[in-house]
């Protein structure tokens, strides 16, 4: 293990001295160690927060002109775009996702830097219609030091989404990536320094979520916590954040329904289901994990779907022919198996897959799985985060809408129909923060991303994300109202 490369925290513009405790990062496709990272202790976390607070108050970034923020973020976008191949290789290595998926995803990530760079440059304050001879200006200001807890399934994408919005607004950012896939995020530190970001404005610290992540989120000097993770993690950090009056943006997962109506050609519908359900081996928060299929097309749909799923190529993630890569670790394999076993015990019908597998006898792989279940089964209502998909026969449009809204999650959903009126009618009634019509997994830096119910609070992307990283100052300028409250002219006095 001593010959493994060690990638230490990125602090104050350079790689920090390694901590005494370390975490080993594995390649999930081979189970082989890739590198080690720091396990940052509480004392060091608190020192980094205080250092970051000093950086915020010195104003090099928080008080920089919008044009300077635009320039730095734009430079970072250019640098990132030129280095996409190396980031693709790293993401594939640490996540086990097929390399062709990573090429497609990472090619778009610089767009987030470009979008928020532009937003920093053009976003304007406003003047309210304040009554009387008074001008009221609203100015947006950065919050301060913000903590971002990012996941392992889209390490670079989700970190960049959060970092871009926070930096554009003038904040100092501390990112804590998942210990399962932190390497691409750690590489962002040097990239932003090269782009011109002042030292200490982006800090990247590593360690276990239950330790380092907890220490970070408990620090009272934070001005915001932005979390992408599970509901249990949110519930663990929310009470302390509430005590310290720290706002939280939380994207917590989903159980996305994919709604199919008989006006769609069966082959097109199956192709859509494969894309919705098995990108990233089902390890996304908007995985199409519930296929709600109209009775009139159900039998033909299932027959073709099973045939297509059984032909998906499981393989080495670095092979361009591979369609299904690894899941993230052994615990993910066990979770998938547990869901399959319970679904069958509850009376579900295993249509294909359902077993752990491997490539050359190694790796954390699970065969793509389709199980026919009832709408109230455990599999139909709970997030697997793996390639285990529920399919539910629905009698009509009304039932599809009802089943789509049954779970406590409400992040994403998609509606597939060639009936224009039906598409909008159904989309309007589905409870979800994101509803796609004849599409799935579509994302853009300008499009707000976030859910309802237990899927989270707040939004990533768009003006909404930018503004959530700011606080509003109201400046009231009186140019004609005389302060006469204690004078004789009480009739004309103004008060709150």
Mark whether 143 and 27 lie in a shared domain. Answer: yes
Last residue in a domain, options 386, 408, 437: 437
Pair 459, 402 in one domain: no
Domain assignment present for 198:
yes
* pLDDT of res. 197: 98
Rounded CA gap, 393 and 415, in Å?
A: 15
Q: Is residue 489 in a domain?
A: no
Let me know: does 252 contact 455? Beta carbons within 8 Å.
yes
Regarding whether 378 and 246 lie in a shared domain, the answer is no
| Same domain? 462 vs 406 | no
* In-domain check, residue 445: no
132 lies in some domain: yes
Judge whether 487 lies within some domain: no
pLDDT value, residue 231: 93
159 near 185, Cβ under 8 Å? yes
**Does the pLDDT of residue 111 top 70, yes or no?**
yes
- For residue 433, pLDDT over 80 is answered with yes
Report the number of distinct structural domains present in the chain.
2
pLDDT digits (tens, 9 = 90+) for 320-331: 999 999 999 999
CA-CA distance, 191 to 424, in Å (whole number)?
43
* pTM (predicted TM-score): 0.95
448-458: pLDDT as tens digits: 999 999 999 99
Q: What is the DSSP string of 22-68?
A: EEEEE-TTT--EEEEEE---HHHHHHHHHHHHHHHHH-TTTTS-HHH
CATH number at residue 427: 3.40.309.10
Domain-located, residue 270: yes
Residues 469 and 430 in one domain: no
72/180 same-domain check: yes
pLDDT of residue 141: 97
Contact 226, 382 (CB under 8 A): no
User: What is the distance between the alpha carbons of residues 436 and 456, in angstroms, rounded to a whole number?
Assistant: 19
Q: Tell me what pLDDT residue 495 has.
A: 54
- CATH number, domain of 21, equals 3.40.605.10
In terms of DSSP bridges, do strands 456-457 and 248-251 run parallel, antiparallel, or are they unpaired? antiparallel
- Whether 311 and 407 map to the same domain: the answer is yes
Phi first, then psi: give them for residue 431, nearest 5 degrees: -90, 100
Rounded to the nearest angstrom, the gap between the alpha carbon of residue 306 and the centroid of all alpha carbons in its chain is 30
Q: Do 243 and 314 fall within a single domain?
A: no
Task: Give the range of the structural domain holding residue 126, as residue numbers without chain letter.
Answer: 6-252+455-476
Question: Is the residue at 1 inside a domain?
Answer: no
Query: What are the residue numbers of the active site?
Result: 251
Q: Which two tokens stand for residue 272?
A: 């859509």
- Report the b/e string of 416-453 with b at 16+ CB within 10 A: bbeeeebbeebbebbbbbbbbbeebbebebeeebbbeb
Residues 429 and 471 in one domain: no
- What mean pLDDT is predicted for residues 84-91? 98
- Indicate whether 125 and 84 sit together in one domain: yes
Q: What is the pLDDT of residues 259-302, one digit of tens each?
A: 999 999 999 999 999 999 999 999 999 999 999 999 999 999 99
* Residue 411 pLDDT: 98
Q: What is the mean pLDDT of the chain?
A: 96
Within-domain flag for 444: no
Residue 88's alpha-carbon distances to 83, 156, 280, in angstroms, are 9, 10, 14
Measuring CA to CA, how many Å separate 52 from each of 68, 76, 101, 169, 252? 20, 21, 35, 16, 27
Residues 178 and 229 in one domain: yes
3-state secondary structure of 395: coil
Cα dist from 20 to 6, 8, 17, 39, whole Å: 12, 11, 9, 8
Task: Let me know whether 158 and 139 are in one domain.
Answer: yes
Total Cβ atoms within 10 A of residue 85: 10
């Amino acid at each position: 293990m001593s010959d493994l490369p060690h990638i230490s925290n990125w602090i104050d513009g350079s790689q920090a001295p390694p901590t005494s405790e370390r975490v080993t990062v594995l390649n999930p496709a081979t189970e082989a160690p890739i590198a080690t990272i720091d396990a940052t202790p509480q004392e060091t976390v608190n020192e980094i927060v205080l250092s970051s607070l000093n950086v915020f108050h010195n104003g090099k970034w928080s008080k920089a002109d919008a044009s300077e923020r635009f320039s730095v973020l734009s430079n970072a976008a250019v640098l990132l775009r030129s280095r996409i191949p190396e980031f693709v290789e790293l993401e594939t290595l640490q996540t086990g996702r097929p390399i062709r998926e990573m090429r497609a995803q990472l090619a778009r990530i610089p767009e987030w830097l470009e979008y928020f760079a532009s937003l920093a440059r053009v976003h304007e304050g406003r003047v309210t219609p304040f009554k009387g001879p008074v001008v009221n200006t609203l100015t947006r200001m950065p919050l301060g030091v913000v903590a971002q807890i990012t996941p392992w399934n889209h390490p670079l994408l989700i970190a960049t989404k959060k970092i871009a919005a926070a930096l554009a607004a003038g904040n100092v950012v501390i990112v804590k990536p998942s210990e399962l896939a932190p390497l691409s995020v750690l590489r962002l530190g040097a990239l932003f320094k090269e782009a011109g970001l002042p030292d200490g404005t982006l800090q990247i610290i590593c360690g276990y979520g239950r330790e380092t992540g907890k220490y970070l989120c408990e620090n009272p000097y934070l001005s915001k916590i932005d979390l992408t993770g599970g509901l249990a993690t949110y519930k663990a950090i929310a009470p302390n954040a509430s005590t310290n009056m720290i706002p939280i943006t939380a994207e917590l997962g989903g159980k996305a329904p994919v709604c199919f109506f008989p006006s769609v050609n069966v082959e097109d519908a199956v192709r859509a289901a494969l894309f919705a359900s098995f990108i990233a081996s089902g390890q996304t928060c908007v995985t199409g994990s519930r296929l709600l299929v109209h009775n009139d097309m159900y039998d033909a749909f299932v027959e073709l779907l099973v045939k297509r799923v059984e032909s998906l190529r499981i393989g080495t993630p670095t092979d361009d022919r591979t369609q299904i890569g690894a899941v993230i670790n052994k615990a993910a394999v066990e979770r998938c198996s547990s869901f399959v076993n319970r679904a069958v015990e509850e009376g579900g019908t295993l249509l294909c897959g359902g077993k752990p597998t491997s490539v050359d006898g190694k790796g954390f792989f699970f065969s793509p799985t389709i199980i026919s279940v009832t709408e109230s089964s455990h599999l139909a209502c709970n997030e697997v985060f793996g390639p285990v998909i529920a399919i539910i026969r629905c009698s009509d449009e009304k039932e599809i809408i009802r089943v789509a809204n049954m779970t406590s999650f409400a992040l994403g959903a998609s509606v597939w129909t060639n009936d224009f009126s039906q598409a909008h009618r159904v989309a309007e009634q589905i409870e979800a923060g994101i509803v796609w019509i004849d599409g799935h997994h579509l994302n853009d830096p300008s499009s707000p991303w976030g859910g309802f119910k237990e899927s989270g609070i707040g939004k990533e992307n768009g003006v909404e994300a930018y503004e959530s990283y700011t606080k509003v100052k109201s400046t009231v300028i009186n140019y004609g109202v005389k302060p006469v409250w204690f004078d004789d002219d009480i009739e004309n006095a103004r008060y709150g």
